[in-house]
Every structure is written in C-alpha cells, then in structure tokens.
Amino acid sequence: MTDPWARPTDQSPPAPTQELPPQPPAPDQPGQPVQVEQPAPEAPQPQDSSALAKVKKLFSDPLSVVLVFVIVVALVAAGVLGSELYARNRADQIVASTVECVVGDGAKASFDPLPPFLMQHISGHYTNINVETAGNQIREAKGMQVKLGIKDVRIKETADSSGTVGSLVADINWSTDGIRQTVADMVTLPFIGSAISDVRTNPSNGTIELKSLLGTITAKPSVVNKGISLQIVDLSAIGLSWPRETLQPILDKFTAQITEDYPMGIHADSVQVTDSGVVAKFSTTNAKMPKPADDPCFGKL
C-alpha cells in the first residue's frame, strides 16, 4: 500500500537560480528628486547659565562695553550732581538763616558756581558768598536793605572763633520812607515827642530834612565812630527853642542803635545821600567769626 503522504519519486529537483551580475546605478531620471543624505544633527551643547558666563558674554561685545561704561558714568555724574545741589541748597539756607538772625529780616544766600560746593565743603574754604536781604528792615531801621559780598571764608574752630572771613562788603540802601518810619518810631523830640511827619533828601549838599508840624531839622549823614551819624547843620522851629546841643545826642543815640556794634568788626566806610534815600558801605577784613556761645546767630555754621 502506497503512503499517500510520501513525496513522489518522479519529480525532478528545482533548477538552481542563476545570480544576476550587479547592475550599475541607474542614471538620474528627469523629474525625480535626488535624495542627499543629511548628516546627523549634533547633540546641543549644554549652555552655562551662570552669572559669570553672562558677564563674559556681555563684555565680549565692544558695543556692550561702551554702553555699560556710558551708563556707569551717567549714574556717577547724576549722583555727584544731586549731592552738589543738595549740599549747596542746604548751605544757602544756613548762611541765610545766620544773616536773618543778625539783621532781623528775611535773606537769600548763594554760593558762586565755581569751584564746586562739595570741594569747598570738604576743604572748609568757601570762596564767594552772596547775600541779599528782603528790604523790610535792618535791626530797627525800617526800609533798609543790604547786599553782602563775602569772600575767603574758612571754617576752623579755635579757642576764640569758629573760623575767619577774608573780606565782607555790605552795600546798604535806606529809603526816605523807611527813614521817616524809623525816626517816627525811635526819635522823641523835646516838647513834641515823635512828630516827624516827612523826610526829604537833598543830594546836592548831602543833607536830609526831618520835617514836623512845628519845624525842620536839617542833618548831614557822616561816618562817626565806625557808624553812621546824622550831624545837625540847621534848625528851624516855630515858637520853640531847640538847642543843637540838646537834639544832637538824641540823633546820635538813634543812629548808634541801628548802625553800630555789628559782629566781626563790621563798620561803616562811607555814606551818601541820593534822591531816594541814603546809601552806605560797610565792610570788614580778616575778621574772626564768633563762637555760638558768644553770638547765638552763628550757632548753625
């Protein structure tokens, strides 16, 4: 019996497959894209995010270096300018406050622009200071204004002073109306009291006329005892006898109260009568500034 699962014996073995020789690459066909092998992308380098790396990167660019330099210079300049303005303003207030205390009126002070105030403050040597009062009064003298030019101030504590002033020049302007108010408030004449009602100036002969209802006193301003004195040159009274020897001491006391005994040896140099009043020049040189214990007005310096 034949095995149905047995391979037939009459079948020939399969013919061997013939290997084809290798074919040359086909020429490029028009219309077909050429595939080019791309190199594999490199792995990303780890970036250094540290502050040092950022600084190195910043300073590797010349433009960045210039910008940083400009910004730093601008910030420094702004800081110096701000300090200069603040210190200058503060010093103006201190000087003005000192002058206000001495004269009894409002005042404004300023330092010259050069040299810079901070340099002056560090050295303790202030070159030029300008002060102007409001013009309301100086001490009891109504309507009197002063402009001060102060130079070569050196702040240095010693046994008897808080510093020195190289020179101080004061230009004083006293209006006729201010003279009238002051004389009316401070001068009491015999028999009639404070009766001065008008003041007139005569620049041609340098005199002042103090007028009242009962007469006129003509006086000539002059420098006496380092202050301003009103020297009587003429008296005219209605029904009264006013001896010059009686009136002169009254006027001398009046002028001494308002023009003498200023600090640091400030004294009158000249006086002149104008159409609008009286102008005078006061000054001092190489003066010692009083210590606060001697003059409280200098306590803030």
Q: Are 271 and 222 in contact (CB under 8 A)?
A: yes
pLDDT band at residue 188, thresholds of 50, 70 and 90? confident
Q: Are 258 and 181 in contact (CB under 8 A)?
A: no
Residue 165 confidence (pLDDT): 96
Q: Is the pLDDT confidence value at 5 over 50? A: no
Which contiguous run of DSSP H or E holds residue 86? helix 62-103
Range from 82-86, 124-128, 199-203, 226-230 carrying the lowest mean pLDDT: 82-86
Which is more confidently placed, 44 or 195?
Answer: 195
Cα 114 to Cα 94: distance, rounded to the nearest angstrom:
19
Q: What is the 3-state composition of the chain as percent helix, strand, coil, each rounded to the nearest 5?
A: 30, 35, 35
Residue 207 Cα distances to 203, 225, 231, 257, angstroms: 7, 19, 9, 20
Residue type present at position 263: P
Q: Is the pLDDT confidence value at 47 over 80? A: no
Mean pLDDT, residues 250-258 taken together? 89
Bridge partners (DSSP) listed for residue 237: 215
Cα 272 to Cα 208: distance, rounded to the nearest angstrom:
11
| 3-state SS assignment for residue 205 | coil
Report the range out of 2-6, 9-13, 139-143 with the highest average pLDDT.
139-143
Q: Are 263 and 294 in contact (CB under 8 A)?
A: no
Q: Are 112 and 130 in contact (CB under 8 A)?
A: yes
Q: Are 284 and 168 in contact (CB under 8 A)?
A: yes
Nearest residue to 225 via CA among 268, 193, 281: 268
Cα 114 to Cα 56: distance, rounded to the nearest angstrom:
42
Cα 116 to Cα 102: distance, rounded to the nearest angstrom:
27
Which is more confidently placed, 188 or 61?
Answer: 188
Q: Is the pLDDT confidence value at 95 over 80? A: yes
Q: Which residue has the tokens 């149905």?
A: 4
Q: What is the pLDDT of residues 115-143, one digit of tens each?
A: 999 999 999 999 999 999 999 999 899 99
Residue 35 confidence (pLDDT): 56
Residue 260 confidence (pLDDT): 86
Which is more confidently placed, 44 or 183?
Answer: 183
Cα 164 to Cα 285: distance, rounded to the nearest angstrom:
9
% pLDDT > 90, the chain:
45
Which contiguous run of DSSP H or E holds residue 235? strand 227-237
Please provide the average confidence, as pLDDT, over all residues in the chain. Answer: 82
Range from 29-33, 84-88, 107-111, 220-224 carrying the lowest mean pLDDT: 29-33
Residue 117 Cα distances to 163, 176, 240, angstroms: 18, 39, 62
pLDDT band at residue 1, thresholds of 50, 70 and 90? very low
pLDDT band at residue 20, thresholds of 50, 70 and 90? low
What are 191's two structure tokens?
A: 């028999």
What are 247's two structure tokens?
A: 């009136």
Q: What is the pLDDT of residues 260-293, one digit of tens each?
A: 889 999 999 999 999 999 999 999 999 999 998 8
Residue 104 confidence (pLDDT): 93
Nearest residue to 215 via CA among 229, 195, 244: 195
% pLDDT > 70, the chain:
75
Residue 125 confidence (pLDDT): 94
Task: Supply the DSSP symbol for 44.
Answer: P
What are 269's two structure tokens?
A: 């140099």
Q: Which residue has the tokens 């690459």?
A: 25
Q: What is the pLDDT of residues 154-180, one digit of tens each?
A: 999 898 899 999 999 999 999 999 999
